[in-house]
Amino acid sequence: MNTEERQLADLLHRVTPEPPRRVTVEDVAFRLANEAGQGRQARVPRLREPRRREPHRRRPSWGRAWAPALAAAAVVVVAGGSAALAVGLTSNSHHGGVASPGSKLTSSSAAPVTSSASTAPAVIPTSAVPIKDAPYGAELINRDKITPGTLVSGDNYLYGVEPGYLDQIDPANGTVVHRMPDTAQVVSAPVIVGDQVWAVTAYTSAGAVLTGYNAVTLTQVASVQVPVTGRTSFAAAGVLAGANQNLYLAAGNDIAVVNTDTHKMTRQFVELQGPINSLATSPDGTRLYVSLGNVTLVTYELPGLATLATSTVSGDGAAANLVATSGGVWGTMATQTTTTAWFAPGGNLAKLVHVGDVTGTGAYSVPTYGGGAVWIGGSQTLVCASPASGQVLATASIPRDGSAAEYLGGVAVSGSRAYASYSTSAAQQSGTAVMAVPSACSG
């Protein structure tokens, strides 16, 4: 390089600003899901059969241990693959919920549909793999890469989103009991309402689709189309909430209300200068919290949707992944370089305090509420906090795998055990971890 070239290089590095926010893997996964939903599949190779976990390929010890079971399950796998193919074809033919490219959805509902869930092949080991130095005796019980913050606990099962898929997981051994049919792409965290599990399966400015599944069989029971006004949230995981048989969806500048009994959109009101980044309902079903912009939090009364309060906080972040508890609202703040977790007592952003890792670790920082405590993970600490006061009840260090960070977060609690998403880049392993709930965090 000559002097002039060096000066130009210096200028480019000096003047080019830092981006207001970073691109995340979830953004990319969301984009892939949308492209798939719109039929833009040319860049993504198709799989030859329903995707399944393959721990035995990367971890020979697991594979050897499960060789007999694999052999015995071979017939089941082949049969399952064929069944899933049939399901895919059937579902695809009447899956009216996905917006066609460029089309604007206008209808609010579709006739209830029923389709079979695919049964996941039984290749998951029953013996857990200890995570060295992990808090609360955490052990890896499967290799499912559940998106942190999407793992929720139902009456008998855990539900989580592995990019694009909704998994029903047996908490006893980590086995994926059912996986949603492969014709839709789950982009939001699942929401359990009664005996149904709902998720957003398409989410673009052309429209959104909510899909309901039977909580036990994971068969599809309904598909509801929702129009979207304006831009959609940058963090789709936290755009759906449920209370009182209703679902609430952040639909661009609007909030859509869908009745889970009738499978109809009952209301969509325009009041906000969106896009709405996230929303959450309080545990008692009397409040709906909505975040938008940089950064406003609006509190509505339910079910009337009267505005109760509005608060703002200045800054360069965007609030998302809201979780509501008795004491207030939790969420993440995505800034130029980090995503951190926060708590706003009473839903008042003027009282906002940050919780958990100071540096932030993306999706692993997403707060979750389970077992009477709010959990916030990351790469440094796993924190549980009081849902009423926001006070940190216990903090545990997350180990490092040599020079590589380990990530633990997105906790769901079932009984006396907590389940979390775990990842480490050094060993290139990810999965669901199970650990004991410390007494301080048991509510």
Q: Is 114 in the site for another protein (CB under 8 A)?
A: no
Residue 154 β-bridge partners: none
Q: Is 75 in the site for another protein (CB under 8 A)?
A: no
From residue 406, give the alpha-carbon distance in Å to each of 132, 142, 172, 360, 375. 11, 16, 24, 13, 17
Distance CA(177)–CA(184), nearest Å, equals: 18
Q: Is 79 in the site for another protein (CB under 8 A)?
A: no
Assess contact for 221 and 196: CB atoms under 8 A. yes
Distance CA(186)–CA(30), nearest Å, equals: 9
81 or 438, CB closer to another protein? 81
Kindly identify the residues of this chain, within the stretch 167-226, that bind another protein according to CB under 8 A: 181-185
Q: In this chain, which stretch among 48-56, 59-67, 262-270, 368-376 interacts with another protein, using CB under 8 A?
A: 48-56
234 or 395, CB closer to another protein? 234
76 or 440, CB closer to another protein? 76
From residue 354, give the alpha-carbon distance in Å to each of 359, 364, 390. 11, 15, 10
185 or 204, CB closer to another protein? 185
45 or 304, CB closer to another protein? 45
Torsion of CA 283, 287, 288, 289, to 10 degrees: -90
Assess contact for 135 and 379: CB atoms under 8 A. no
Which residue from 338, 388, 392 is spatially nearest to 363, judged by alpha carbons?
Answer: 338
1 or 111, CB closer to another protein? 1
- CB burial readout 235-259, b (16+ within 10 A) else e: bbbbbbbbbeebbbbbbbbbbbbbb
CB of 175 to another protein, least distance (A): 18
CB of 427 to another protein, least distance (A): 10
233 or 423, CB closer to another protein? 423
CB of 219 to another protein, least distance (A): 16
404 or 440, CB closer to another protein? 404
CB of 404 to another protein, least distance (A): 8
Kindly identify the residues of this chain, within the stretch 287-346, that bind another protein according to CB under 8 A: 316, 336-337
From residue 187, give the alpha-carbon distance in Å to each of 57, 240, 368, 410. 28, 10, 17, 16
Torsions phi, psi for 41 (to 5 deg): -115, 5
Which of 23, 350, 353, 440 forms a contact with another protein (CB under 8 A)?
Answer: 23
Q: DSSP of 133-162, one letter per residue?
A: T-GGG-EEEE---PPTT--EE-SS-EEEEE
CB of 362 to another protein, least distance (A): 7
Which residue from 221, 220, 224 is spatially nearest to 118, judged by alpha carbons?
Answer: 220
CB of 17 to another protein, least distance (A): 6
156 or 336, CB closer to another protein? 336
Task: Name residue, tokens 């993440």.
Answer: 332
Kindly identify the residues of this chain, within the stretch 357-416, that bind another protein according to CB under 8 A: 362
Which residue from 336, 330, 373, 337 is spatially nearest to 354, judged by alpha carbons?
Answer: 330
Kindly identify the residues of this chain, within the stretch 139-158, that bind another protein according to CB under 8 A: 145
Which of 63, 67, 76, 91 forms a contact with another protein (CB under 8 A)?
Answer: 91
CB of 384 to another protein, least distance (A): 25
**Alpha carbon 285 to chain centroid distance?**
21
CB of 43 to another protein, least distance (A): 5
Task: Strand 318-325: give its sheet, edge to edge.
Answer: 318-325, 328-334, 339-345, 353-355
Q: Is 48 in the site for another protein (CB under 8 A)?
A: yes
Number of residues that bind another protein (CB under 8 A): 62
Q: Which residues bind another protein (CB under 8 A)?
A: 4-5, 7-9, 11-25, 27-29, 31-33, 35-36, 41, 43-51, 81-82, 84-85, 88-89, 91-92, 145, 162-164, 181-185, 316, 336-337, 362, 423, 425, 428
